[in-house]
Amino acid sequence: MSTLIIGLSLGMLLFLLASGLTLIFGMLGVINFAHGALYMLGAYIAFDIGRHTGSFVAGLIGATVLVAAAGALIERLALRPLYNRPHFYQLILTFGVILVISELVKIVWGLGYQESTMPEALAGTVELFGSTIPVYRLFVIGFGALVSGGLFLLIEKSTFGMLVRAASSDGEMVRLLGLPVSSVRMAVFALGSGLAGLAGAIAAPLFPIELGMATNTIIDCFIVVILGGLGNIRGAVAASLLIGLVRALGYAYMPSWVDILTFALLIATLLTRPQGLFFRATRSA
C-alpha cells in the first residue's frame, strides 16, 4: 500500500514535468528537448528564492513565472522563425537551448550539488499502512491532481483553450479570422515552460539539485508523452501514473529491473499502439 502512495507521488511529479512537454508538442508540434533544462532551471530558481526569502511558496511562484518568461523569450527569439521549416531545425535549436541553460546554471550556481529544505508545514511524516510516508509526498500527489484538473479545464473548457486548439489545428485559418496566432503560440510555449519550472520547484526538496537533473528526467518525460499519446493531457496523466506505479513496484520488488521494465512498457506500446495507449479516447487534442 505504501508502494502505491510512493508510485502515485512519482507519477504525479512525472506528470507535472511531462504535461508541459506534451502541451507544447500537441499544440505547437515542437519537440522541446530543452524541457528538462527548463525543469532544472526551475529547481535552481526555487532553491535560490527559498534560500533568500525562506518561503517555499515564493520559490514555487517565482520559478513558475521566471521559467515561463524564459520560455516566452525562447519562443519569440528563437522558435518563431523556425515554425515553417522542417522539424529538425527545432530539434537542433532546442538542443542548443539545453547547452545555453546548462552553461548559465553553471555560471550562476556552479557545478556543486545544492540542497533545498522542505517547507516546515510539509516536512513531517505520517504513518500510513504500516509505513512512514513523508507528508511532502502526499502534497505532491494532491498538487499534481490539482494541476492536472486545472490544465484540463483550461485546454478543454476555456475560451483560451478553444483558441489554442483552433490555432493548433489550422493556424492559417485562425489568423485570417483576425486572431493573434503568434501570441497564442507564445503563450502556450510559456505555459509549457512554466509547468516545467513548477515541476522543478516541486521536485527541489525531494532530490539533490544538480546539472544532471535535466538529462536524467527528460527520458522519462518522453516515455510518458509517447505512452500517453503526443499532445494528450488526459493520456499524460494516465501514462505518468502508470510509469510511477511500475517504477515504485519495480523498486519495491526488483530494483535492478526498473529501467528494463519501463523501457519494455515503452517498446510494447510502440509495437502495439504506436499512437499512444490513450489515443482513441481523445482524438480532439
The reply on whether position 107 binds another protein by CB under 8 A is: no
All three cell numbers of 10: 512519482
Three-state DSSP class for residue 125: strand
Residue of 74, 79, 137, 236 that binds another protein (CB under 8 A): 137
Choosing from 68, 167, 230, 242, the residue that interacts with another protein (CB under 8 A) is 230
Quote the least distance from Cβ 278 to another protein, whole Å: 16
Q: Is 207 in the site for another protein (CB under 8 A)?
A: yes
For another protein, the binding residue among 2, 78, 82, 160 (CB under 8 A) is: 2
> How many angstroms separate the CA atoms of 161 and 166, rounded?
8
Rounded CA separation 230/27 (Å) = 10
Which residues, numbered 39-98, are part of the site for another protein (CB under 8 A)? 86-88, 90-92, 95
Reduce the DSSP state of residue 34 to 3 states and report it: coil
Is-contact 28 184, C-beta < 8 A? no
What sign does the dihedral 149-151-155-159 (CA atoms) show? positive
Q: For another protein, which residue of 40, 248, 266, 285 counts as binding (CB under 8 A)?
A: 248
Beta-carbon contacts of residue 111 (< 8 Å; ≥ 6 apart)? 211
Q: Which of 208, 263, 264, 280 binds another protein (CB under 8 A)?
A: 208
With vertex at residue 228, the alpha carbon angle to CA 227 and CA 230, rounded to the nearest 5 degrees, is 100
Q: Applying CB under 8 A, which residues contact another protein?
A: 2-3, 6, 9-10, 29, 31, 33, 86-88, 90-92, 95, 111-115, 117-118, 125, 130-134, 136-137, 206-212, 215-217, 220, 230, 247-249, 251-252, 255-256, 258-259, 274-275
